[in-house]
Amino acid sequence: MLSKEIQQSQNSKQKFFYGYVIVVAALCITTMMYGTRLSFGVFFKPVLNDFGWSRALTSGALSLSVVIQGLSAMVMGNLTDRLGPRKVMTICGGLLGVGYLLMSQINQVWQLYVLYGVIIGVGMSGVFAPLMSTVARWFVKKRGMMTGIAMTGIGVGTVIVPPIANYLISIYDWRISYILVGAIALVIVVAIAQLLKRDPSQMGQVAYGENEGREQYTNKNEKGVSLKVATHVGRFWVAFGMFVCLGVCLVGWQAHIIPYATDLGISAASAANILAALGVGHLAGGIVLGNASDKFGNRRAFVISFILMLVSLIGLLLLKNVWMLYLLAIVFGFGGGAAATLMSPLVAELFGLSSHGLILGMMSFSFTLGAALGPFLDGYTFDITGSYQLAFLISIIFSIVGLILSFTIRPIKNLN
């Protein structure tokens, strides 16, 4: 009774919960970082046309970037557990901005791979594991919904940044556009990173919902297990494989949807709007299924996500009208956005929070393995066949495998 009165007294004094600042900061950083990453398709043909490189060679830089991002994510996740997100995101934001600034100077393919593949890849490693792990530490209750809100930055970034980048390219050229995008990204990400705090104790607070109904919110797993223990659980590798499939489908689609659309005779501006439609779906999916996952669980939400992506990919094989491409982009974005949102809550549910950043970094690496394979595979099959039809069929197979794996995920009990 006394502890309850003390808690009520503390709540009356702490009328503003800093966790909401964390969510908004994560949303803004995600918007900027993913928005610039998803602008790759906008810059794709202008760069390719200037140098005459093949689609596989050009998209290979994105593949290398996501591999480096995945490898670095494990490091950044571990550093977030130890040093906190502010320092990590300051470093990553600086690398990202500088990488885009230097992209304006490339003349050789090796420069593309070093700058976009390595430097921007390391910079992007801060966007997921450090931010989503931090949000998870601030919320016990409504963790799925708050992660969903933070992850809507992917959708917002897709809606805002690619059309702006396309507009800049039409006015100036792709080199000056990279300078402008890089400068804006550098300032925004580094500035907002200063607002991040590792956990509620740094602000004299407790995680939202920690003292009410904990039995409903991973009570037994809140402390969590180490990465070493987690890797000895079969479900860890099921989740690992599921995220590989997600990466192949999601990032391959994002990287090649604009070249695919322009091959159909759609203007570059309209093609950028298709990517924006993908972002709208991503935004809606993250919020809707992120919120719903708090009620009916992450596994069911993942099943729905893979079904939506599968339906969209099949629809691409049957595409007959341009308006269908917009519709498929929204549906695909809804499913993909929800799945990306649910990665962090699922890791918290399965393995707890003590090593959440490191384990989420490992899962982020599995996603980026698929994300590296997807764009390169799509570009390679196009170079061989002159069409994206085979690429769509391969993505359909990966989405079916991911759907099957999502059916097998079950909550892990008594790991502590």
Q: Per-residue confidence of the chain (416 residues) as pLDDT tens digits?
A: 444 444 544 444 456 889 899 999 999 999 999 889 878 878 888 888 888 888 778 878 887 887 888 788 888 888 888 888 999 999 999 999 999 999 999 899 899 999 999 999 999 988 877 888 888 888 877 777 788 788 778 778 877 888 888 889 889 889 999 999 999 999 999 999 999 998 888 888 888 776 654 444 444 445 667 777 777 777 888 889 999 998 888 877 777 777 888 887 787 777 777 877 887 887 788 778 777 777 777 778 888 889 998 998 888 877 767 778 888 888 888 888 788 777 877 787 777 766 777 787 788 788 878 877 887 788 888 888 888 888 888 889 999 999 999 888 765 555 55
What pLDDT is recorded for position 204? 83
What pLDDT is recorded for position 379? 80
Main-chain phi, psi angles of 253, to 5 degrees: -65, -45
CATH class belonging to 20-200+217-408: mainly alpha
Sign of torsion, CA 15 19 22 28? negative
So where are the chain's domains?
A: 20-200+217-408
User: What whole-number distance in Å separates Cα of residue 113 and Cα of residue 195?
Assistant: 32
**Cβ count near 381 (within 10 Å):** 20
**Helix/strand/coil for 208:** strand
Number of residues assigned to the chain? 416
Residue with structure tokens 């959440």?
Answer: 356
Listed residue (178, 56, 45, 193) closest to 120, CA to CA: 178
**Helix/strand/coil for 416:** coil
User: What whole-number distance in Å separates Cα of residue 333 and Cα of residue 204?
Assistant: 38
User: What whole-number distance in Å separates Cα of residue 183 and Cα of residue 198?
Assistant: 27
What pLDDT is recorded for position 221? 44
Q: How far is CA 308 from CA 13, 151, 216, 282, 313, in A?
A: 45, 18, 29, 12, 9
Nearest 5°: the CA angle 301, 371, 282 is 40
What pLDDT is recorded for position 320? 65
User: What whole-number distance in Å separates Cα of residue 15 and Cα of residue 18?
Assistant: 10
Tokens of 82: 């130890």
What pLDDT is recorded for position 99? 94
pLDDT in tens, 235-291: 888 889 999 998 888 877 777 777 888 887 787 777 777 877 887 887 788 778 777
**Helix/strand/coil for 125:** coil
